[in-house]
Chain A
Amino acid sequence: MDLEDDTTVLTTLKSFNSFISHNEPPQRLSEHSVGSGNLQSQYKRSMELLEAAERLHSKNRYLQLDQEKKQMELSHKRARFELEKAASDSARDLEHEFGRNQDLIGQIKKLEERETGAAKNLTEQTEANRALRKNLESLNKKLEERDMRLNTSNQHISSLRDEIRELKQKIQNQDSTISTQTLENQELQEQLDLQRRKYQEVSQLCQSLQAAQSSCSEHIIKIKELERRLALQEQDIAIVKTVKAEVAKVPDLEKELKRLREDNAFLRESRENCSLLKEEVEGLRRKLERMAKTKEELVNMELEKERFAEKLKAWENLGQSTGLNIRKPEDLSREVIQIQQREFALKEQNYTLNSRVRSVERSQSELRAELTQQRGKTLEEQKKRETQDALVRRLQKRVLLLTKERDGMRAILESYDSELAPTEYSPQLSKRLREAEDVLQKTQNHNAEMEAQLSKAQEETGALKLQLQTVELELESLKKQQASAADSSSLVTKEEVNILRQKIEDLETERQRLEEQNNILEMRLERHNLQGDYDPVKTRVLHLKMNPTTVAKQQRQQEVEALREEVTHLRELLRSVQDGTALAHSQDDSSMHTSGLGLSLPPSKEVLDLRKQMESSELRNQRLKEVFQRKIQEFRTVCYVLTGYQIDITTENQYRLTSVYSEHMDDSLLFKKGASGSMQLMETEFSKTLGEMVALHLHHQKSIPAFLSAVTLDLFSRQTTV
């Protein structure tokens, strides 16, 4: 079925392709022939083609889907089939299983029956076990008791045996120890004997050692003394060396001295020359200065001359300029005198005028004062007049009042008199009269007082007015003075102000300077205070007399003095030593020694002892030498006499033998000592004559004494016969 679908697809595709290709050529052909009219047809055709393609496509899809569906169905069938198979298989298995199950169940039942039987057996057997166990236990207990008894008895036996063994061992040990101890005892005794012998020997050795030690200590003491003396000698040697070094420097110093003296002489000569030259130079310098001064003076003089010439010209011109008859200075002087005289005259006039002016001013001022006084006086008088007028008026008023009062009183009296005539009222009337009179008097007094007060007040006011006016006059005069003097004094005040300002500035600068000085001084004071300065007027410095510095200084001084003394002492020693050694080289007299060194101090005794020892050792040496020489001489002579040969050592390892019986003085045999120590004969003239004996005794017999004895015999025989 699939193939069929595929083939249908392929066939449809082919048909579609053929359709498209078929359609194209006619379209192309038709394009050229027909223009726009064909486009629409083409378009339609294309649309139709597209629809066809779509249809084909859908068909394809449909076919594909069909295919897929079929495939799915197939797979479904297959799966169903398989499932059915599996189901049948499983059913069969089930049946099998079921059968088996039943079998197993039957088996199980059988086994259960067996089990029950077995359990019954078990229980029976367990019961039997228990009974047996109980029996066992009882038996075991009995056994244990027996065992324990046995064990205890065994232990006892073993312990007893151990004890026996131990005792035996002890006995053995003790025996062995006894034996060893006896042996040791013997050994120790032997050792003791040895030790005693050793002790004796050692004691002997000790004694010898002590003797040796004493001798050793004595030797050591001697050695130390000798070493000390050696050290002192070495010090002396060192001192001698330094002195020698210093002495060695002396020729150099002398040379230098000579050189310096020559330099000195040369320098003195040159100094004299120098001084002469300096004097010349100074003289020349002074001359130079004077010349310079004269030059300056010349220049100044020329300048002055010019100035004077100008002045002269000016003066000469003056005469022409002023128009006066001036040709000589005398005329000038005359003119000047005249002018001066005129001046004097004018000054006199001036002075006189000034004096007049002043007097006039004074009189003016006096007159002004008088004027003011007069004005004051006039004012006073005016015032007085006014007061007088006022008094007059008051008096007139009083008079009027009095007259009026009199009239009134008269009237009253007349009335009273008229009234009194009919009746007698005199006492009352008199009383009233008296009272009225009293009242009158009182009022009159009051009046008078008031008038007096008034007048005083008026006088006072008048005086005050006078004062006012005088003061006003003075003020006016002062104002006038001020106005006149204002112009002249304004300048004076300005100058005063300027002067004062300058003074202020000067004072301020001085103040600052003083402040700075003050600061500097304070700093200095502080510094001095830090350094320890003090004001001797107020303070005093004290310290203890016995203070550590003085003590230290004293100690130092003492040390220095002691050192100096030591140095002088050592120098004297040195000198004495040098003298002593010089003497020792020249003479060996001990008396000279003592006389020479008798002045020296105790330490030189050591030197003396050393010297004595030295001499004694030298003497000993000499004596030993003499003794050795004598002995050697004796031995040689004896050898010569006994052996007949005189043996001389010519050079190292060469021995010359001359026989007693030699015919000539030069006949000698030379023997040389070889490296191995053997003697060898050397060729000499004499040995040449003894060739036979040499061959016989030396070469054959190899014996030098035989040869020598043969030689002596031969010579002896020759001598005696000849």
Chain B
Amino acid sequence: MTSTLKGITLKGSAELVAEFFSFGINSILYQRGIYPPETFSRVTHYDMSLQLSTDPKLKNYLTNVVSQLKEWLFECTVQKLVLVITCLETNEVLERWQFDIECDKSAKENSTPREKSIKTIQDEIRSVIRQITATVTFLPLLETPCAFDLLVYTDKDLAVPEKWEESGPQIIDQSEEVRLRSFTTSIHKVNSMVAYKRTDSV
């Protein structure tokens, strides 16, 4: 943990949130079966056991995205991170995991660390990841082979880095939305929600 024991700085908060995203995305990919479960290995983090992928291409992709996301979190220019699951046969979007990020911009000017214990943040993150695991019970089965994509909603005036391009929001038509728990590091607040395609319309 890079954040000091005394408090949370902007950089530390950005790292915490980026770390949560990397573990959360791995959990979602494992739970929804996007990649075969034998390609995942068990690790312990946030005082619970999580699944982390060992596929090198996937790991490379995730590290690229998460590192860029960390920069944007530090600059407070990112608004949402969305994990989109599309069916390969019909090219339809079946699920959308959306994480809204609210950044307290006053932390940019004021560099004093904020009082929030890492343990409470970890507890909150743990409850969010547990809830993500529990959502599998009511989400419809993904029977066809699927692929995922990560979209980032940023401010309009941001410079688009190399290797990134603009894309559409990839919204599901006739979706059901469920709001999940949120956690806050006192500088960044992350709200999670999941939207899935209604099965009776399929």
- Please encode chain B, from 76 to 93, with 1 for each CB lying within 8 Å of some chain A CB and 0 for all others: 000110101010100100
Contact with A along B162-202 (1 / 0, CB 8 A): 01111111111001010100000000000001010000000
Q: Is the CB of A544 within 8 A of B147?
A: no
Q: Tell me if B58 counts as interface (CB < 8 A to partner A).
A: yes
Q: Is there contact, CB below 8 Å, between B195 and A532?
A: yes
Q: Could you tell me if B153 and A539 are in contact, using CB atoms closer than 8 angstroms? A: yes
Within 8 Å by CB of B149, from A534, A540, A548, lies A548
| Alpha-carbon distance between A540 and B157 when the two chains are bound, in angstroms | 9
Which one of A529, A533, A538, A552 contacts B156 once the chains associate, using CB atoms below 8 Å?
A538
**Nearest chain B CB to A186 CB, angstrom units:** 67
B177 touches A542 (CB 8 A): no
| Cβ-defined contact, B164 with A545, below 8 A | yes
Residue from the list B86, B100, B171, B172 in contact with A549, Cβ < 8 A: B86
Contact assessment for B151 and A541 in the assembled complex, using a CB-CB cutoff below 8 Å: yes
| A546 with B149: CB separation less than 8 A | no
Q: Mark A506-545, 1 if CB is under 8 A from B, else 0.
A: 0000000000000000000001011111101111111111
Most chain A CB neighbours (cut-off 10 Å) among B82, B100, B145, B150? B150
Measured CB to CB, the nearest residue on chain B to A529 is B100
What's the nearest-Cβ distance from chain B to residue A294, in Å? Answer: 52
Does B51 interact with chain A (Cβ within 8 Å)? no
In the complex, A322 has a CB within 8 A of chain B: no
Q: A539 contacts which chain B residues (CB < 8 A)?
A: 79-80, 153-156
Give the chain B neighbours of A527 by CB distance below 8 A: 177
CB distance from A98 to the nearest CB of B (A): 110
Count, chain A residues at interface, CB 8 A: 26
B-contacting residues, A218-249, CB 8 Å: none
The docked-state distance in angstroms from the alpha carbon of A553 to that of B89 is: 9
By beta carbon, the residue of chain A nearest B96 is A532
| Neighbour of A541 across the interface among B153, B175, B193, CB < 8 A | B153
The answer to whether the Cβ of A547 comes within 8 Å of any Cβ in the partner chain is yes
Determine if B84 and A549 form an interchain contact, defined as CB atoms under 8 angstroms apart. yes
| Count of chain A to chain B residue pairs whose CB atoms are closer than 8 Å in the complex | 103
| Per-residue interface assignment for chain B, residues 91 to 121, with 1 indicating a CB less than 8 Å from any chain A CB and 0 otherwise | 1000010101000000000000000000000
Q: Using an 8 Å CB-CB cutoff, how does the interface string of A540-578 with B read, 1 for contact, 0 for none? A: 111111111111110010000000000000000000000
B138 contacts partner chain A, Cβ-Cβ < 8 Å: no
The answer to whether A541 touches B166, judged by C-beta atoms less than 8 angstroms apart, is yes
Q: A544–B64 contact, CB under 8 A?
A: yes
Smallest distance from the beta carbon of A517 to chain B beta carbons, Å? 23
B158 within 8 A of A: yes
Distance between Cα atoms of A478 and B28 in the complex (Å) = 87
Query: Which of chain A's residues have a CB closer than 8 A to the CB of B156?
Result: 536-540
- B171 and A532 form a contact (CB under 8 A): yes
- B interface residues with partner A (beta carbon < 8 Å): 57-58, 61, 64-65, 79-80, 82, 84, 86, 88, 91, 96, 98, 100, 145, 147-156, 158, 160, 163-172, 175, 177, 179, 193, 195
Closest 9 CB pairs of A and B: A552-B147, A549-B147, A530-B177, A549-B149, A547-B149, A542-B164, A543-B151, A543-B167, A532-B171
Q: Can you list 12 A-B contacts with CB-CB less than 8 angstroms, sorted by A residue number? A: A530-B98, A530-B193, A531-B96, A532-B170, A539-B155, A540-B156, A541-B151, A541-B166, A544-B163, A545-B164, A548-B149, A549-B86
